Structure 1
């Protein structure tokens, strides 16, 4: 069905990642590619000045290791990519740069601040140039 799928995984909700990775694998064409993407938000400069110099590199390394462990647990072959910046923007940018034809993103059951779908998922749906599958997650 799809030849290149971006699977956005928030490490704070890694238990949801296994489910959406398996969903991506079931939707992938033979010879297609899954890219497991985690986005690390930028730290404001007034906060970064107080942090150890290598903290960002350590967080990126840890994120990569967690995604690789998740892929192994799910039994899904994928390329691991770590992005940075605002999550929705980084997800859309990754999809465009890889020529993805599907983005899969999990969304929690919303509260009043983002009633229909989660804030990141909402932005991805509105601005992506490819198909987006929002996997609703129960809290």
Structure 2
């Protein structure tokens, strides 16, 4: 089993997030830890100049509240972290910083360029230095 698991959740996909969080909790060693992670994507510069800082802060707060709700609904103990940037890059960085031994991520229905598992999941699988579980 695993001692440090990162569960990367897209807050727009609450049901998938709940499913992978429950699955990850069954893979956790006694005394292990779960990190529930969401990445708020950076907006292009031309959009940021037109948006208020309050809108970006509100997006982070909404993400955090969604993860709190998700954790409560799944009935699991997990730390919560919100990051900003490219989802794949930030998930991989969190895994390295925390010395995770498993990343769990849900995959969406991909387009032609990422036919098998999706863009973010594809990058995580290619570059992770630990095991990765992709839930379809």
TM-score of the alignment, normalized to the shorter chain, above 0.5: yes
1:33 match: secondary structure: strand
1:42-121 alignment, distance < 5 Å: 42-121=42-121
Structure 2 gap ranges (5+):
none
Could you list the per-position Cα deviations for residues 10-50 of structure 1 after superposition, in whole angstroms to 9, with x for gaps in the alignment?
A: 01111101100000000000010000000000011110011
Deviation at 1:110, TM superposition (A): 2.7
Show the counterpart of 1:23. 23
Deviation of 1:108 after TM superposition, in Å, equals 2.1
Please tell me the root mean square deviation across aligned C-alpha atoms, in Å: 0.9
Give the whole-Å Cα distance in 2 for the aligned partners of 1:65 and 1:12. 13
Q: Per-residue displacement from partner, 1:42-84 (whole Å, max 9, x unpaired)?
A: 0111100111122211111111011000110011110010011
17-26 or 46-55, which moves further after superposition? 46-55
Superposed structure 1 runs of 4+ greater than 4 Å apart? none
3-state SS of the aligned residue for 2:100?
Answer: coil
Give the structure-1-normalised TM-score: 0.95
**Structure 2 length-normalised TM:** 0.97
* Local SS of the residue matching 1:12: coil
Consecutive unaligned residues in structure 1, runs of 5 or more: none
- How far apart are residue 113 of structure 1 and its match? 2.6
